[in-house]
Amino acid sequence: MSATIKDIANKVGVAPSTVSRVLSNKTKYYNSLTAEKVKKAAEELGYKKNQAAVELVKRESNVIAAVVSSVKTNFAGEIIDGIQEEALKHGYDLIVVYAGSADSDEQKRALLTVIERPVMGILLLSIALGEDNLKLLKESQIPYCFLSMAFDDNRPFISSDDEEVGYKATKLLIDKGHRKIGLAGIDKFPYTGRLRLQGYKKALDEAGIVFQEDWIQTGDYSYLSGEKAMDQYGKDTDLTGIVAVSDMVAIGLLNKARNLGLNVPGDLSIVSIDGTEMCRIVQPQLTSISQNFFEMGKSGVQRIEDIKKHKKLVNLQQMIPTRIEERQSTTQKENLTYF
Amino acid sequence: MSATIKDIANKVGVAPSTVSRVLSNKTKYYNSLTAEKVKKAAEELGYKKNQAAVELVKRESNVIAAVVSSVKTNFAGEIIDGIQEEALKHGYDLIVVYAGSADSDEQKRALLTVIERPVMGILLLSIALGEDNLKLLKESQIPYCFLSMAFDDNRPFISSDDEEVGYKATKLLIDKGHRKIGLAGIDKFPYTGRLRLQGYKKALDEAGIVFQEDWIQTGDYSYLSGEKAMDQYGKDTDLTGIVAVSDMVAIGLLNKARNLGLNVPGDLSIVSIDGTEMCRIVQPQLTSISQNFFEMGKSGVQRIEDIKKHKKLVNLQQMIPTRIEERQSTTQKENLTYF
DNA sequence: GTGAAAGCGCTAACAT
DNA sequence: ATGTTAGCGCTTTCAC
């Protein structure tokens, strides 16, 4: 076993509490001579603090836990970056655990591994907890906040305004003269998907476009969903623009469209939602409604901080602004039938 | 505060030790009636085990820690998937911490957050520790293994055979009739980069090709490195094939080549190293020497397991086989000048 | 089968 | 400035 403060105390000839004070930098509660000796002994013994013991007595820790829905979402990394940066600023450590987005047992397992130790806050990245697991989380008394996922109950979250996102994407196409606009890759479940669909419909409505059921292709935000959706639309689709609910869907759309002999953006404009690095490394580069994932991460940490401090205003639901980034996958439609 | 076993003991009217036995499933050391009552009370009180306390007394835990060099490497996810799956099989929990790949302080911080609690094993993903941090790791007495990174000292690691990888990639191009072959995005640091370079040179040697210094473009495995490399080679390069040291480099190469008016694979063949999903979502799809990252993760967990069991054979260095996946970015060179 | 008691490594009063 | 003491929540002998 590794050396303990007792070992150091013995070696130096002081009390364990003194060692503790030195090693925890309780300045002004020890003199620099003993401090020297203690530090030297610690070094020599290869001493490592046992945080389990520390956390047990202090009943608090400086670690923030992030629970991530899946290793594969390509924006999780950006959120984690944001969390990391902000955490560092506050002197917190970050640990990440992965949970399958769907499977309730996996979720529970992931949740327990963080709840069962005294973490100071839990951030849940694009994960929708089931009833049981949400209860677990609440009971733990640990400050928490959902990231990149919005809810219509009173859970605290930080997310993009998904209705607005759907609206903006659709409106962008409409403003470029498109009237027949698809929506691809969307899930049928509550929250994100439904909200974006609402925004999409709202934009269509405002433009007086009557929406057709087969403009919508459901999916799960994946590359495959994009390919499948484009297959469904088919080579002879009368759509001139499509909103993709994620970058991966957009790329699936793009590739399949090309295989079908359709030119993007010549025959078909695509606007993607997310705006990760992916948009810039495909050709044509994808126009996107870009979410500020990094900022979500930062805000998440600040939220944990807030809850800890003010104890209450727990259920704040907050939106992070998105921005439109026009790249090469969208174009003005020339033959504006309405002029 | 959350309820403790003491609270449960009081509520049920038994001793804390009994509660402990029930909750830890020490079967046959309690009767099922008390077990019932205890479990019910635990449920009602929303009891959560305090792992800090458990680990303190047991001096061991069932969590494996993965230290990842950066959020951005796009294959880390595959390794983590592998770790996760194998960990689950053994009943271990996984926590992940991120460390900058370069900055020594960040590395240390990440390392300490896992060393300072009783984790049962540490897996380091494509991260090259500095002397100090390596010492820290060794002192901790915790079983560890490097993943996706090879060393020439006696550290335990599991990785692809990087020399072979470089060799295979280059040989593939040679077999297709290419004689002027670049190597792009490689780093100047030891290990991975240097080994792949060796393999590259070996393949060239064997084919009697005399290698030119300007065929090599250094970089850092990033998309940008790829673009920069292609810029350096230039529109009028006499290279007909390029080996990219990562998928991202390959994509950078690909896009820049296209911008320069070069057709891939018509004018230029590209073979990528890694073989992640990225290879399949760009057009043309990238031929690759694919690493089995998932398997690396699995083997990593097994290694931890082994070290724990047999205590010694610690420094085993292990290679995971790679495979060649031909896709669309490589083609036979027609005019074979040597016939 | 269950209770009592000791102790894991550390910190935080409370003394001095 | 430093030593003494108690105790965080749990597991584990050792009794009975």
B44-48 long-range CB contacts below 8 Å, 24 or more apart? B44/B11, B45/B3, B45/B7, B45/B8, B45/B11, B46/A139, B46/B2, B46/B3, B47/B2, B47/B3, B47/B4, B47/B5, B47/B7, B47/B8, B48/A112, B48/A115, B48/A116, B48/A139, B48/A140, B48/B2, B48/B3
Least CB-CB distance to B84: which of A50, A98, A223?
A98
Q: Where are the alpha helices (DSSP H) in B46-92?
A: 51-58, 76-90
The Cα B245–Cα B165 span in angstroms is 9
Name the band, by pLDDT with cuts 50, 70 and 90, for residue B241: very high
Q: Do A95 and B116 touch (CB under 8 A)?
A: no
Show residues of chain A in contact with B59, CB under 8 Å.
1
Neighbours of A31 (CB within 10 A): 10
* Lowest-confidence pick of A45-49, A84-88, A187-191, A246-250: A187-191
The Cα A76–Cα A98 span in angstroms is 11
3-state secondary structure of A144: strand
Local structure of residue B339 (DSSP, 8 states): -
Tell me: the pLDDT tens digits for B81-102?
A: 999 999 999 999 999 999 876 6
Neighbours of A82 (CB within 10 A): 21
Antiparallel, parallel or unpaired: β B181-186 and B216-218? parallel
> Tokens 């698809």 belong to which residue?
A182
CB A158 within 8 A of CB A320: yes
CATH number corresponding to A162-292: 3.40.50.2300
Name the band, by pLDDT with cuts 50, 70 and 90, for residue A312: low
Identical fold for domains A60-160+293-321 and A162-292, yes or no, is: yes
Local structure of residue B283 (DSSP, 8 states): S
CB B265 within 8 A of CB B329: yes
Domain A5-56 in CATH 1.10.260? The answer is yes
* pLDDT over 70 percentage in chain B: 96
Enter the tokens of residue A324. 């439109």
Name the band, by pLDDT with cuts 50, 70 and 90, for residue A339: very low
Residues for chain B: how many in total? 339
* Shortest alpha-carbon distance between residue A328 and chain B (Å): 14
Show residues of chain A in contact with B77, CB under 8 Å.
71-72
Tell me: the pLDDT tens digits for A234-257?
A: 999 999 999 999 999 999 999 999
Q: Determine the pLDDT at residue A28.
A: 77
Q: Given a cut of 90, is residue B311 above it in pLDDT?
A: no
Q: Given a cut of 70, is residue B186 above it in pLDDT?
A: yes
* pLDDT over 90 percentage in chain A: 80
Q: Given a cut of 70, is residue A135 above it in pLDDT?
A: yes
Q: Given a cut of 80, is residue A265 above it in pLDDT?
A: yes
| Residues A321-326, mean pLDDT to the nearest whole number | 98
Helix (H) or strand (E) holding A201: helix A192-206
Read off φ and ψ for residue A65, nearest 5 degrees: -110, 135
Per DSSP (E only), the strands in chain B are: 63-68, 93-98, 121-125, 144-147, 157-159, 181-186, 216-218, 241-244, 269-274, 287-290, 317-319, 323-325
Q: Do A71 and B51 touch (CB under 8 A)?
A: no
**Cα dihedral: B299, B302, B308, B310 (round 10):** -90
Name the band, by pLDDT with cuts 50, 70 and 90, for residue B309: confident
* Lowest-confidence pick of B5-9, B83-87, B310-314, B319-323: B310-314
Within 13 Å, how many C-alpha atoms sit on residue B209's CB side? Answer: 24
Beta-carbon contacts below 8 Å between A and B: 116
Helix (H) or strand (E) holding A67: strand A63-68
Who's near A170: CB < 8 A, 6+ residues apart? Answer: A181, A183, A199, A200, A203, A204, A243
Name the band, by pLDDT with cuts 50, 70 and 90, for residue A72: low
CB B113 within 8 A of CB A112: no
Q: Given a cut of 60, is residue B284 above it in pLDDT?
A: yes
Nearest residue (CA) to C1' of C3: B15
Name the band, by pLDDT with cuts 50, 70 and 90, for residue A103: confident
Tell me the CA–C1' distance in angstroms for A29 and C15.
Answer: 15
Name the band, by pLDDT with cuts 50, 70 and 90, for residue B339: very low
Taking the C1' atom of every nucleotide in all shown strands and the CA of A28, the nearest one is D1
User: What's the mean pLDDT when you consider all of chain A?
Assistant: 92
Tell me: the pLDDT tens digits for A191-205?
A: 889 999 999 999 999
For chain A, what are the domain ranges? 5-56, 60-160+293-321, 162-292
Name the band, by pLDDT with cuts 50, 70 and 90, for residue A163: very high
User: What's the mean pLDDT when you consider all of chain B?
Assistant: 92
| Residues B105-110, mean pLDDT to the nearest whole number | 91
CATH number corresponding to A60-160+293-321: 3.40.50.2300
Tell me: the pLDDT tens digits for A144-159?
A: 999 999 888 889 999 9
Q: Given a cut of 90, is residue A315 above it in pLDDT?
A: no
* Lowest-confidence pick of A268-272, A318-322, B134-138, B269-273: B134-138
Closest to A68 in 3D by CA, of B294, B38, B71, B18: B71
CB B248 within 8 A of CB B226: yes
Enter the tokens of residue A285. 């580069």
Least CB-CB distance to B94: which of A56, A77, A97?
A97
* Shortest alpha-carbon distance between residue B199 and chain A (Å): 29
Within 13 Å, how many C-alpha atoms sit on residue A153's CB side? Answer: 8
Tell me the CA–C1' distance in angstroms for A93 and C4.
Answer: 39
Tell me: the pLDDT tens digits for A118-130?
A: 899 999 999 988 8
In A129-166, which positions are buried (b, 16+ CB within 10 angstroms) versus exposed (e)? Answer: beeebbebbeebebbbbbbbbbbeeebbbbbbbbbbbb
Cα B78 to chain centroid distance, Å, stands at: 8
Residue B99 identity (one-letter amino acid) = A
Residue B7 identity (one-letter amino acid) = D
Task: For residue A260, count CB atoms less than 10 angstroms from its CB and return exposed for 0-12, middle for 13-18, buried for 19 or more.
Answer: middle
| Residues A254-275, mean pLDDT to the nearest whole number | 97
Q: Given a cut of 90, is residue B27 above it in pLDDT?
A: no
Q: Do B97 and A98 touch (CB under 8 A)?
A: no
* Shortest alpha-carbon distance between residue A285 and chain B (Å): 10
Name the band, by pLDDT with cuts 50, 70 and 90, for residue B180: very high
DSSP per residue over A219-277, as a string?
--SSHHHHHHHHHHH-TT----EEEESSHHHHHHHHHHHHHTT--TTTT-EEEEEE--T
Nearest residue (CA) to C1' of C8: B57
Reading phi first (left if > 0) and then psi (alpha if -120 to 50, else beta), residue B238 is in alpha
* Lowest-confidence pick of A311-320, B125-134, B164-173, B223-232: A311-320
> Which residues, by CB, come closer than 7 Å to strand C?
A 1, 4-6, 16-17, 20, 23-24, 26, 47, 49-50, 53-54, 56-58; B 13-18, 21, 28-31, 33-34, 53, 56-57, 59
Largest CA distance in chain B: 93
Could you give the C-alpha distances from B286 to A164, A264, B238, B270, in angstroms and in order? 37, 21, 21, 7
Nucleotides in D strand less than 7 A from protein CB = 1-5, 7-13
3-state secondary structure of B18: helix
CB A225 within 8 A of CB B281: no
Q: Do A141 and B59 touch (CB under 8 A)?
A: no
3-state secondary structure of A212: coil
The Cα A68–Cα A85 span in angstroms is 17
> Which residues, by CB, come closer than 7 Å to strand D?
A 13-18, 21, 28-31, 33-35, 53, 56-57, 59; B 1, 4-6, 16-17, 20-21, 23-24, 26, 47, 49-50, 53-54, 56-58
CB B254 within 8 A of CB B270: yes
Tell me: the pLDDT tens digits for B49-67?
A: 999 999 999 988 999 999 9
Q: Do A282 and B277 touch (CB under 8 A)?
A: no
Q: Determine the pLDDT at residue A264.
A: 96
